[in-house]
Amino acid sequence: EDQVTQSPEALRLQEGESSSLNCSYTVSGLRGLFWYRQDPGKGPEFLFTLYSAGEEKEKERLKATLTKKESFLHITAPKPEDSATYLCAVQARRNFNKFYFGSGTKLNVKP
Amino acid sequence: EAGVTQFPSHSVIEKGQTVTLRCDPISGHDNLYWYRRVMGKEIKFLLHFVKESKQDESGMPNNRFLAERTGGTYSTLKVQPAELEDSGVYFCASSQDQGGPQHFGDGTRLSIL
């Protein structure tokens, strides 16, 4: 069965303290992996798509990487405005319109 | 560009009543999706439309849920009759291309009393 596991569930960082979030997946034939940011009371906001192992994408302080088993979202020198829940979703080749989401990592960056 | 719009943002109804949720996708997006998150769980797929046609409704929990997309524009999701376990946040998303990034609305928080 297709499954996505995110860790840690919650992460507290001081402003400027870099760290990484993990998304491990089990899917039969990965087509793509998506990272989203979700603020309280809002819907998921699209950040990145990764399609193949070794691929990297960057946006401001965020960098996403992909291997055959997992993806990392690296946050460099975070600011309080980076505080949010970060969600990972995967799509399988056999049905690429159906996204499987992880439970998310709630990030809190203290000033 | 206007994003995905969902209405209402909150709905509180009693068990056995009927509720209809509405979603307006991003203009020009043929693909429309419904997802939901129940308490403490991850976001789960319900169904996918391409224009007015249902492509995949494998995630619909039972026949109390009915989704429509009249004319291939906005979509509605009706729950009739509502049960306690239907409480949660219902998200709508749209995409320009099949398999492309899905863009989400802010959801409808549904509470069944």
| Segment A51-73 mean pLDDT | 96
Give the number of other CB atoms < 10 A from CB of residue B70.
Answer: 9
pLDDT at A91 over 80: yes
Q: How confident is the model at residue A2 (pLDDT cuts 50, 70, 90)?
A: confident
Do residues B88 and B21 lie in contact, with contact meaning Cβ atoms separated by under 8 Å?
A: no
pLDDT at B40 over 90: no
Per the CB < 8 Å rule, is A34 touching B56?
no
Which string of DSSP letters, residue by residue, matches chain A?
--EEEEE-SEEEEETT--EEEEEEEE-SSEEEEEEEEE-TTS--EEEEEE-STT-EEEETTEEEEE-SSEEEEEE-S--GGG-EEEEEEEEETTEEEEEEE---EEEEEE-
Residue type at position B35: Y
Token pair belonging to A7: 């860790």
pLDDT at A30 over 80: yes
Instruction: Name the residue of chain A whose CA is nearest to B32's CA.
Output: A97
Do residues B79 and B64 lie in contact, with contact meaning Cβ atoms separated by under 8 Å?
A: yes
B102 touches A: beta carbon within 8 Å:
yes
Give B-chain residues touching A9 at CB under 8 angstroms: none
A7 touches B: beta carbon within 8 Å:
no
Comparing CA positions, the residue from B75, B91, B82, B73 lying closest to residue B111 is B82
pLDDT at B60 over 80: yes
What value does the mean pLDDT of chain B take? Answer: 96
Residue A35 CB burial class (10 angstroms; 0-12, 13-18, ≥19): buried
pLDDT at B1 over 90: no
Do residues B19 and B81 lie in contact, with contact meaning Cβ atoms separated by under 8 Å?
A: no
Comparing CA positions, the residue from A99, A10, A14 lying closest to residue B99 is A99
Do residues A108 and A13 lie in contact, with contact meaning Cβ atoms separated by under 8 Å?
A: yes
Give B-chain residues touching A29 at CB under 8 angstroms: none
Q: How confident is the model at residue A108 (pLDDT cuts 50, 70, 90)?
A: very high
pLDDT number for residue B70: 86
Q: Which phi and psi (to 5°) does residue A15 adopt?
A: -55, 130
Q: How confident is the model at residue B96 (pLDDT cuts 50, 70, 90)?
A: very high
Q: How confident is the model at residue A67 (pLDDT cuts 50, 70, 90)?
A: very high
pLDDT number for residue A68: 92
B87 touches A: beta carbon within 8 Å:
no
pLDDT number for residue A28: 87
CA distance A105 to chain B (A): 11
B4 touches A: beta carbon within 8 Å:
yes
A30 touches B: beta carbon within 8 Å:
no
Per the CB < 8 Å rule, is B42 touching A99?
no
Q: How confident is the model at residue B72 (pLDDT cuts 50, 70, 90)?
A: confident
A84 touches B: beta carbon within 8 Å:
no
CB–CB contacts below 8 A, A to B: 57
Label each residue of B63-113 as H, E or C.
Answer: CCEEEECHHHCCEEEEECCCCHHHCEEEEEEEECCCCCCCEECCCEEEEEC
Q: Residue A85's beta-bridge partner residues?
A: A38, A106
Q: Is B23 helix (H, G, I), strand (E, B) or coil?
A: strand
pLDDT digits (tens, 9 = 90+) for B10-20: 999 999 999 99
B75 touches A: beta carbon within 8 Å:
no
| Segment B67-91 mean pLDDT | 96
Nearest Cβ partner for A43 among B31, B44, B107: B107
Nearest Cβ partner for B55 among A41, A97, A103: A97
pLDDT number for residue A1: 76
